[in-house]
Amino acid sequence: MSIQPQYRDDGTVSPSSFENSGDRSICLWLKQRLEGNDRYFPIDLRVGEDPDRLVLSILRDVGPGHRVSMSIARCLLSLLDEARDAAPKVPAFFGNLLRICQQEGISMLGSWFTEEVEYIADDPSRARDRWGQERTVEEILHAAILQAPGLQTAATRDSWLRLLWQPRYSTIALYGLGRLLPDRLRHLSVWWENCLADERYRDLDEMIFMDLKIEGDEKLRSLLVFYENAFDEDLREAINDALRQNGSMEVFYLEGSYCNSFAGAGV
């Protein structure tokens, strides 16, 4: 059965629109929508509506165990396979498909992204040839941060660790190894040595900015002190600079001693 558009009182699309639709109908709708064409729920170009926004809304509304979300997940996986088969040509739907994967964790997609992370880590040059352009490889890795992170026991951990040593992918790999700050701080020195030299100060400043917002000044400074011995002088100085730029106080003396009330603190 085809999709039957239904709306809530507030005008938002009801997930019940898809409850009597089979995978075939949902896959066709999903592909067309991500290409920018939706005859059931027209995309509002006047306000710059992103085609992926409705899909994300439905997934978050019904939750991961719902029949509709499972059907959408199967269709997303099918579209990922279709994009891989079409490479190096990039299908029109692929960019918006990756945007979904970068914003919502979907367990059914983990194996696809695990394969891609391993493929890229094994031979980055071959991966660029497969996908036709560097930007596509980077967007796949950004999605893999959420879909196939390199946690301690994950199948992707070794691949993310190898990518950490690749200058172009080092910053992405740092986040792939853990979204929590302590997980990233363990690898910060390797990242600092290997990331692109003309980007590392900017990337470090962005990290400090976000960590201050998420963790707060006190916790961030405490964690930095805890990991100080893993940082060389250049990295400690750069961290001090980034803290100052973001309205916080320096945390290290340049010779390596503590310069704040957290001296000797642990976490």
Per-residue confidence (pLDDT) for residue 186, from 0 to 100? 94
The answer to whether the CB of 225 falls within 8 A of the CB of 258 is: yes
Q: Is the pLDDT confidence value at 254 over 90?
A: no
Q: For 43-55, write each residue's pLDDT tens digit.
A: 988 888 999 999 9
pTM, full prediction:
0.90
Per-residue confidence (pLDDT) for residue 46, from 0 to 100? 82
Q: For 123-174, write each residue's pLDDT tens digit.
A: 999 999 999 999 999 999 999 999 999 988 899 999 999 999 999 999 999 9
The answer to whether the CB of 17 falls within 8 A of the CB of 5 is: yes
Per-residue confidence (pLDDT) for residue 257, from 0 to 100? 43
Distance CA 64, CA 15 (A): 13
Q: For 194-239, write each residue's pLDDT tens digit.
A: 999 999 999 999 999 999 999 999 999 999 999 999 999 999 999 9
Residue 127 burial by Cβ neighbours in a 10 Å radius (0-12, 13-18, 19+) = buried
Per-residue confidence (pLDDT) for residue 45, from 0 to 100? 81
Per-residue confidence (pLDDT) for residue 255, from 0 to 100? 60
Q: Is the pLDDT confidence value at 258 over 90?
A: no
Q: Is the pLDDT confidence value at 177 over 80?
A: yes
Per-residue confidence (pLDDT) for residue 263, from 0 to 100? 40
The answer to whether the CB of 83 falls within 8 A of the CB of 116 is: no
Q: Is the pLDDT confidence value at 261 over 90?
A: no
Q: Where are the domains of the chain?
A: 1-104, 116-179, 186-267
Per-residue confidence (pLDDT) for residue 54, from 0 to 100? 96
Q: For 14-42, write each residue's pLDDT tens digit.
A: 999 999 999 999 999 999 999 999 999 99
Per-residue confidence (pLDDT) for residue 94, from 0 to 100? 98
Partners of 258 in beta bridges: 252
Average pLDDT for residues 88-107, to the nearest whole number? 97
Distance CA 156, CA 117 (A): 7
Q: Is the pLDDT confidence value at 267 over 60?
A: no
